Amino acid sequence: MEKSKTSLYQAATEVWGKVIKTNTPYTKDLELTLELHKRLLNMSQAGRHYYMIFNISQMELEFISPGIKDVLGYEPQEINALFFLDQIHADDKPYFLNFENKLTEFFDKLPLEKRGSYKFQHDYRIKTKTDNYIRLLHQIVPIDFDENNYFRSLVLHTDITHIKKEGTPCFSIIGFDDEPSYYNVEVTEKLTKSFDLFTKREKEILKCIVEGKNSKTIADELFISLNTVNNHRKNILSKAEVHNPLDLLSKSIKEGWI
C-alpha cells in the first residue's frame, strides 16, 4: 500500500511540476481576494462541499475549509496532499493522473491573459474516514500564476454520489468570459470546441436551477419576469433532453454544463 501511495504521489508531482519553470519569488499570502470569490461563485456547489488551496510550487495543500469534515469525516489538519491522493479509489487513480496531466498541458499552452478564464473539473471516488466511498466533483480554478508559472489553484470538492453513483470518471474544461468549453474530454483526443447548447441567459438560469432556486427567486435576482423565467426553463429542459429539474441537475454535472 505504501509503495502504491508513493508511486501515485511521485507521478502527480511530476505532472504538476510541468507548470513551474522558474524560481520566481513566491509570496504565501493566503488572503482570498475579490477575484477569487468571483471565481468561487462560478463553481458548482450542488451538494455538500468544501474547498482547498493547493500550492503547486510546494506540492501541498495550503488551506482546507472546515466543510471537509461533513463530506469526508476528517478534520482539516488530518489531511495533506499525499494522504489525500492515497484515499482515491484504486480504479480511479489512473483517471485522476491522466486528467491532471491534460489540465497542465492545456494551461501551459494558454497565453497569460487567458490563464484566469478557465476552470477544470473531473470526478472520482474517494474513501471517507468511515471507509465508505463517495464520488467527488473536483473543480479547479487557477488563482495565482504568472507568464512562466502556475503557483496556486482553488479546488472545490462537491459530493455528487447522489447524482452519479456509477460510471467512468469524466473530464471537462469550462471557459469563462466567452472562452470555448470542452466537455467530456478523452485524454487521448485533441480538444475541439464544444457546441454552445445554451444561450448566455439560459446559462445564468441553469446555474440558478442547479443551486436549487425557484422561478420567483430567479426572476427577482435577474430582474426579469416570472413568465420569462418559466419560458427559459422549458427551453433549457428541451435542449437538455430531460423532463424535470432533478434529471437536469444530474445531466448538468455529468456533461460539465455548470
The backbone region for 56, taken as left when phi is positive above 0, alpha when psi lies in -120 to 50, beta otherwise, is: alpha
pLDDT, residue 57, reads 81
pLDDT of residue 41 exceeding 90: no
What is the pTM assigned to this prediction?
Answer: 0.71
Looking at residue 80, the DSSP 8-state letter turns out to be -
As to burial, measured by CB atoms within 10 angstroms (0-12 exposed, 13-18 middle, 19+ buried), residue 9 is middle
Give the range among 13-22, 113-122, 159-168 with minimum mean pLDDT: 13-22
Q: What domains are there in the chain, each with its CATH number? A: 2-175 (3.30.450.20), 200-255 (1.10.10.10)
pLDDT, residue 195, reads 46
CB–CB of 249/210 below 8 Å? yes
Q: Residues near 67 by Cβ (< 8 Å), separated by ≥ 6?
A: 48, 49, 50, 51
